[in-house]
Amino acid sequence: MTYVRKGFGLKAEVQDTLAADYTGQLVDMLRARDYTLHAGQTTVRLAKEFGFCYGVERAVDYAYQTRLKFPDKRIFLAGEIIHNPHVNAKLREMGVVFLAASGKGFDYAPVAPSDVVILPAFGVTIQDFQTLRELGCVVVDTTCGSVLNVWKRVEVYARDGFTSLIHGKFYHEETRATASQVEKYPGGQYIVVRDMAEADLVMDYIEAKAGKPTPRPPLSRTEFLEKFAKAASDHFDPDLHLDRIGVANQTTMLARESLAIGVAVGDAMARAYGDTHRSEHFRTFDTICSATQDRQDAVVELLAEPLDLMVVVGGYNSSNTISLAALCAEQVPTFHIADPDEIDVDGNAVRVRRVGPHHHEDDIANWLPTAGALRVGITAGASTPNNKIGQAVACIFAIRGERVDTSL
C-alpha cells in the first residue's frame, strides 16, 4: 500500500480552483464590517467563528490535489469527504467515486490495486485500513488531527484495560472509526452514549450493581444489552466492563454535554465504590476539537445580542452543525438549512432540519418576516464553505427586498 498523509505538494496548483469553488464575497464583507451587514430595516450578524475549519480545509485540499496528481486513475472515496452536500457534489463532478457503507466500514469490492482511495476527514476503522493494506492501492489519508488525538486516547484506554465510554453517535463515521481503536488490544471494549440520558442509564447500572439507590429503576442486564446492542463492542458485558471506564467523545458533539458526562460518570463511580475507586478506575479527557469549541463559543456570544432568529447552514448529517443548531434553538427561533438552495426566495419558503433528537426535514412557509425591523444571526458548521454562507445571506436580503451596498 502506498500511503500518503501530507498531500502531494500541489497546494499552490489547486488553490485557485478551491477559491473559485468555495470563497464567498459577502462573507469577506461581513468580516470587514465587524461581522455585520445592514440594508434598510434588515441586519445580519455573523458569528465570529464559522465554516471551514483547518481539518476540513486540509481534507478538501488533499482531495483536489489527488485528482490533479492522478488525472487518469480511478479515484474512490470512503463515504463522504466531509458532511456537506455541495463539497461532495463537487468531488463527484471531478469523477471521484463514493464507496458505499458496509457493516461498520465501507465496501471496497470495486477497488483494484491500481486505484486510489481517499480516506475522509472522519477517518476509517482499523478493519478498513487492513482491507486497504491487503488491496495494495494508493491511500490518501485526510483524517483530521483532532480525530487522531481521540484515537490515541481510546487506544491507551484499551491498552490499560479501561472500557472507552464515547459520547457520540454510534452510526457516525468518526465514532465508528474511534471505537474500532479498542480492537488493537485483546479484550478492548467500548460503549457509545448519545447524550446525558443514555449516560444516566450507564450510571444507574453501575450504582445498582454496587447496591446503591438510583434515581431511576435501573435496566436489567438483558435490557441494557438490548438498549446498547448497536452501540457497544461485540462482547461487551455491563457486569464486567463498567468497572474501569475512560471517557472520550466524538469531536463534533456539544462540548458542554461531553464535559458534563465525564464529570457525572466519575461522580457515579465514586458514589458506587468510593473516591479511591474513582481515582484508580476512571479517566476522562476533553477531546472536543478546538474548532468545534470555537464555533460553539462564538454562537453563545452572538446569542447574547438581541436577535429575531438564527440561520445555521450545514449538512443535515453534519454533527457539529446539528450541535450549533441545538445551541441556537435554546434561545431563539432557529432554521437549520443544508444549503441556500433550500431557500425559495420568491415564495418566502425554506426547507429545514427540525432541531431535536428525531431527524426529520420540513418545509416552512413565510419563514422570514417581510416587514419591520429584523435582526438575523447566522453561523455555519465546520464543513460549510463560505460561498454557501454568503448565498444564504443574499437570500435573506432578497426576501426582504433590500439591496446590500457591496462597495468597500
Q: Would you name the residues annotated as active-site residues?
A: 174
Contact yes or no for 17/61 (Cβ under 8 A): no
Length reported for the chain: 408
Task: Provide the grid cell at 408.
Answer: 468597500
What is Dmax (Cα atoms) for the chain?
Answer: 70
Chain centre distance of CA 323 = 8
For strand 349-353 and strand 343-344, is the pairing parallel, antiparallel, or unpaired? Answer: antiparallel
Please state the φ and ψ torsions of residue 103, each to the nearest 5 degrees: 60, -130
Q: 142 — phi, psi (to 5°)?
A: -105, 15
Angle (deg, nearest 10), helices 54-69 and 11-22: 120
**Torsion sign, CA atoms 398, 30, 352, 368:** negative
* Residues near 74 by beta carbon (within 8 Å), at least 6 away in sequence: 97, 112, 114, 115, 116
- The region that residue 296 occupies, defined by phi over 0 for left and psi between -120 and 50 for alpha, beta otherwise, is alpha
User: Closest Cα partner for 56 from 382, 386, 394, 402?
Assistant: 382
